[in-house]
Amino acid sequence: MAILYRTIAVFTTISLLLSTFLTVSVATSFSPTDNYLVDCGSVVDSTVNNRHFTSDRNLFSSEGSITLKSVDQAPNLPQIYKTARIFTEKAKYEFNIVEKGIHMVRLHFHRFNFTDAEFHVTVNDYGVLRNFTGDDDESRVREFLIWVDLGKVVIRFFPSRESKFAFVNGIEVISAPKDLIEDDATSVLTNGTERFSGLVKQAMEVVYRINVGGKKVTPFNDTLWRNWIPDDEYFKGSDGSEKVYFLGRIKYRRGGASREVGPDNVYNTARVVRSENGVVPRVNMTWEFPVSDGYKYLIRLHFCDIASVSIGMLYFNVYVNGNLAYEDLDIADATDYVLASPYYIDFVVDDEFSSLGLISVSIGPSSKSVEHAVDGILNGVEIMKMNNTLGSFDGFVSTEMILSRCPNRRYVSLFMSMVAFMCILMSVWIVIQRRKAKKGFGWLRLSSDNVPEDNNPKTANRV
């Protein structure tokens, strides 16, 4: 009896501990409602950074697409990049979406020794990649933020020509935390600033994620499995600026930037300018980011005062493309006078201001900056491209144009085989019958590929 009692006691303690542990882990890490991770072209599931990627082996038959294994034996190459699915015909992946809202769609491409890859990719209504060859060397992931209320994310691949093929190594479709994107931002114009609304439903492509003054942050280290890269390549320097690193705790506050908006690893490093010898330096810290012309961009600047000794001494100006975007920014005021508390501001720049092919961000002392203090700080930068008026992220071509240049072959083949059938009925010449029948067979053979195609052309036009 005593033994039994003790067992129960132990069991209860363990389950209590367990439930505490579970509550804590649920409270501290984000768990998305929709969470699809696909290892394309692999026959087995794989695990990358503790994340489980499911094989797509049951989605495609061997006839419709080819799977390839990389001979690249690079020991650090994550498992998902060692296999690819190749499409010689158009093909699609469909994901059912349970939670209405913004979804992060990440496409992973690692070209092996392909020379014939050239393809277009669409995600729902958006043309995301055009004539893409996958030849990005380092960054193997393209990320898009897309509002979904249709209940589906459909990712389509179109080889650009008969002789070309499409490929993909991995796909992620994940619901974003509710507070990742707020609807309002500040438009920076040459003659001032204006309010910009409608960010939540605006599709965006992540172009840069920069950990200012810090190290690379990998999906393993990030709260939303993102990559953040160091700023050294983009920092144009300024006399007397320095990198700072903070060992204390980042104080996330309710209503402020959450840990999902930016992880500790981004907020605990920065670059700063400070006054020296009691003189406020008259310098800007400037970063420059190459971008393509003809799009609007969202520029998110992350701030966290990890450098000031006392609160309420830090004031500075923010410039975007040389225009004053925020005068006398007072982070202390924005964070309820808590040091080391994160905060971010979203700016939007318009096509016409990005016509130099560069976005520049400068931080410099303002007229309120004080001596013997930090006079400018920046912890992180994110730059996101918005789709153009045709719904494209990659040139002036609409999804409809891409779809119409790649006719639905199953539909066409059905039509053609009906024509052939009628020809056979009407024809009295056996020779002609044979030729038509052969032609019909040719079309039918195309339709026998089992790559999931649109069996409903109406959907193809709508989606």
- Contacting positions for ligand NAG (CB under 6 A): 71, 113, 115, 120, 125, 130-131, 160, 189, 191-192, 194, 203, 215, 218, 220-221, 265, 282-284, 296, 319, 322, 362, 364, 386-389, 391, 395, 397, 402
- Min dist CB 395 to ligand NAG, Å, is 6
Locus of tokens 């200012």? 212
Query: E strands, 42-191, where?
Result: 46-48, 51-55, 65-69, 83-87, 91-96, 101-108, 119-123, 126-132, 141-148, 152-159, 166-168, 170-175, 184-189
- Min dist CB 106 to ligand NAG, Å, is 17
Nearer to ligand NAG, 31 or 191 (CB): 191
CA–CA distance, 408 with 459 (Å, rounded to integer)? 11
Tell me the three-class secondary structure of 312-345, residue by residue.
CCCCEEEEECCEEEEEEECHHHHCCCCCCCEEEE
Specify the amino acid at residue 322. Answer: G
Nearer to ligand NAG, 259 or 296 (CB): 296
- Min dist CB 391 to ligand NAG, Å, is 3
Nearer to ligand NAG, 283 or 306 (CB): 283
Nearer to ligand NAG, 189 or 412 (CB): 189
Nearer to ligand NAG, 193 or 417 (CB): 193
Give, rounded to a whole angstrom, the gap between the first and last alpha carbons of the chain: 67
CA–CA distance, 368 with 358 (Å, rounded to integer)? 29
Nearer to ligand NAG, 36 or 147 (CB): 147
- Min dist CB 9 to ligand NAG, Å, is 39
Nearer to ligand NAG, 405 or 434 (CB): 405
Q: Which strand ranges, in their side-by-side order, compose the sheet holding 65-69?
A: 65-69, 83-87, 166-168
- Min dist CB 7 to ligand NAG, Å, is 41
Tell me the three-class secondary structure of 168-202, residue by residue.
ECEEEEEECCCCCCCCEEEEEECCEEEEEECCCCC
- Min dist CB 283 to ligand NAG, Å, is 6
Specify the amino acid at residue 422. Answer: M
Nearer to ligand NAG, 172 or 417 (CB): 172
CA–CA distance, 133 with 201 (Å, rounded to integer)? 29
- Min dist CB 280 to ligand NAG, Å, is 10
Specify the amino acid at residue 425. Answer: L
- Which of 350, 342, 337 lies closest to 378, judged by CA? 342
Tokens of 156: 């389509």
CA–CA distance, 88 with 66 (Å, rounded to integer)? 8
CA–CA distance, 157 with 160 (Å, rounded to integer)? 9
Contact 320, 349 (CB under 8 A): yes
Nearer to ligand NAG, 62 or 191 (CB): 191
Nearer to ligand NAG, 391 or 424 (CB): 391
Instruction: Write down the H helix ranges in 335-456.
Output: 399-405, 409-426, 430-447
- Min dist CB 1 to ligand NAG, Å, is 51
- Min dist CB 188 to ligand NAG, Å, is 10
- Min dist CB 5 to ligand NAG, Å, is 45
Helix (H) or strand (E) holding 20: helix 2-28
What are residue 308's phi and psi, to 5 degrees?
A: -70, 150
- Min dist CB 296 to ligand NAG, Å, is 5
Nearer to ligand NAG, 133 or 450 (CB): 133
Tokens of 393: 């992220």
Strands 204-211 and 380-386: antiparallel
